Amino acid sequence: MTATTPPMIRMAGVNKHFGSLHVLRDIDLEVDRGQVVVVLGPSGSGKSTLCRAINRLEPIDGGTIEVDGTPLPAEGRALAKLRADVGMVFQQFNLFAHKTIAENVMLGPVKVRRMGKQQARDAAMTLLDRVGITDQAGKYPAQLSGGQQQRAAIARALAMRPKVMLFDEPTSALDPEMISEVLEVMVGLAEEGMTMLVITHEMGFARRAAHRVVFMSDGEIIEDAAPQTFFTTPRSDRAKDFLGKILAH
């Protein structure tokens, strides 16, 4: 990789309001290729908005966002093409309820990448095998456990061969015993060198897989440090306070 390679994600001077609420304040953030960044912060601090701004599910009011050197296009085909390269995993899984697990994973490759059905099915089965749910391929999302649904959702995102993966609290809606099966898949991805932006309060994941931890509060990035540094010696009072709360239980 040369010094001129653009970062995978670059946000510069990004601002966003919901009405009079200023949810993103002058956000500057770069995520390099192969880097895993964990975003932390109290509820309402703007983590989801930041994550959704990166593939323009949430349009911003000011500043620039680039993915792999390309500024986010306005609504239209170019934006759809960019989104295809950015995998996204939601807290609520959002699997297509009327399609089977295999069809969920195949839909993007067939409709967006114009891949043949059979090839897409084979690729889907390989991915489902990787996340450990081949036996669920023919079922509908509602028939799966939360952990299985989230793993299917990860497979659906991976099927597009994304350049970067965004995770918005992927384990927050899961029963405790299912959290680790999802985190395992994510750690595996990180080890393979996937560029990832992960909103999570799972300290274990941050310690094991993250290169950086970004701490947000009231729409601002307050700290940006290596996990070890952040967890042991947070600089700001807000981070200390936050860590005190989440480490208390």
Partner 1 sequence: MLGLIDYFEPVTDNIGLFADAFLVTLEICLYGATGSLLLGTLIAACRVSPLPPLQRVGSAWVTVFRNCPLTIVLFFCAFGLPEIGINAPFFWFGIIGLVLYTSAFACEAVRSGINSVSAGQAEAARAVGLTFIQSLGTVVLPQAMRTVVPPLGSVIIAMIKNSAIVGAVGVGGDLFSTYGTLVSARGLPIIPVLLGVAAGYLLITIPGGILLGVLERRVAVAR
Ligand X SMILES: Nc1ncnc2c1ncn2[C@@H]1O[C@H](COP(=O)(O)OP(=O)(O)OP(=O)(O)O)[C@@H](O)[C@H]1O
- Which positions touch ligand X (CB under 6 A)? 18, 21, 23, 41, 43-49
Binding of residue 138 to partner 1 (CB under 8 A): no
For the CB of residue 244, give the shortest distance to partner 1 in the complex, in Å: 33
- Return the number of the residue (2 or 43) whose C-beta is nearest Mg ion: 43
- Return the number of the residue (38 or 101) whose C-beta is nearest Mg ion: 38
For residue 142, the 8-state DSSP code is G
SS3 176: helix
Separation between Cα atoms, residue 70 and residue 7, nearest integer Å: 10
Q: In what order do the strands lie in the sheet with 62-67?
A: 21-31, 9-18, 62-67, 70-71
Burial category of 184 from C-beta neighbours within 10 Å (exposed 0-12, middle 13-18, buried 19 and up): middle
- Return the number of the residue (74 or 248) whose C-beta is nearest partner 1: 74
For the CB of residue 237, give the shortest distance to ligand X in the complex, in Å: 19
User: Which of 123, 157, 196, 206 lies at the binding interface for partner 1 (CB under 8 A)?
Assistant: 157
| Phi and psi angles of residue 61, each rounded to the nearest 5 degrees, phi first | -90, -30
With CB under 8 A as the contact rule, which of the stretches 24-32, 80-88, 180-188, 226-234 interacts with partner 1? 80-88
Binding of residue 95 to partner 1 (CB under 8 A): yes
Given ligand X, Mg ion, partner 1, none, residue 44, with its beta carbon under 5 to 8 Å by kind, binds: ligand X
Binding of residue 114 to partner 1 (CB under 8 A): no
Separation between Cα atoms, residue 169 and residue 35, nearest integer Å: 18
For the CB of residue 47, give the shortest distance to ligand X in the complex, in Å: 3
Angle at which helices 146-158 and 176-191 cross, to 10°: 20
Instruction: List residues near Mg ion by CB under 5 A.
Output: 48
